Amino acid sequence: MKEIKIEINIRALRYEELDEKDRKLIDAAKEATARSYAPYSRFSVGAAALLANGVIVTGTNQENAAYPSGTCAERTTLFYANSQSPDQPVDTLAIAARNESDFLESPIPPCGACRQVLLETEQRFHQPMRILLYSKNDIYVLEGTKDLLPLSFGSEYLK
């Protein structure tokens, strides 16, 4: 028997400790939550993607009466960014979420399906995508999807 341990690295910073570029992206993700369509969960998620050319693209969760037809903010944002600018790597993705009273006390973890889409975005552009998970307290900073989706299935297995 062999035990395999996979280490992930997350830095937890306060908003004030982030540089201006990251703060701006977090602000964009927070602002985006106001444009969420979440009449069923009342849980509003916003994401902001900083593209390599400096453009910031935002997106939100979009729900549907047929629940599985809805989409998370991360996928809305990355699919839109990749549709509009298919040649632009995503440098950083910031995610923020709020319920009806306020933003969350602990960082919002993307769902499993979104993690898989984050991974694909990285792989298609051959460079790590930084991820910022916002909360009112700590903000988690990850240097790539390897710290969010260890032991991942990607295109390399299809070769």
Asked if 111 touches ligand THU (CB under 6 A), the answer is: yes
Asked if 43 touches ligand THU (CB under 6 A), the answer is: yes
Which tokens is 147 given?
């710290």
Asked if 91 touches ligand THU (CB under 6 A), the answer is: no
Asked if 103 touches ligand THU (CB under 6 A), the answer is: no
> What is the number of other CB atoms lying within 10 angstroms of the CB of residue 137?
13
Q: Smaller CB distance to ligand THU: residue 17 or 31?
A: 31
How far lies 39's CA from each of 22, 35, 48, 64, 95, in Å?
30, 12, 21, 8, 20
Q: Smaller CB distance to ligand THU: residue 32 or 50?
A: 32
CB of 38 to ligand THU, least distance (A): 5
**Which of these segments, 9-17, 22-30, 38-46, 136-144, binds ligand THU (CB under 6 A)?**
38-46
How far lies 87's CA from each of 9, 53, 82, 90, 159, in Å?
29, 10, 8, 10, 23
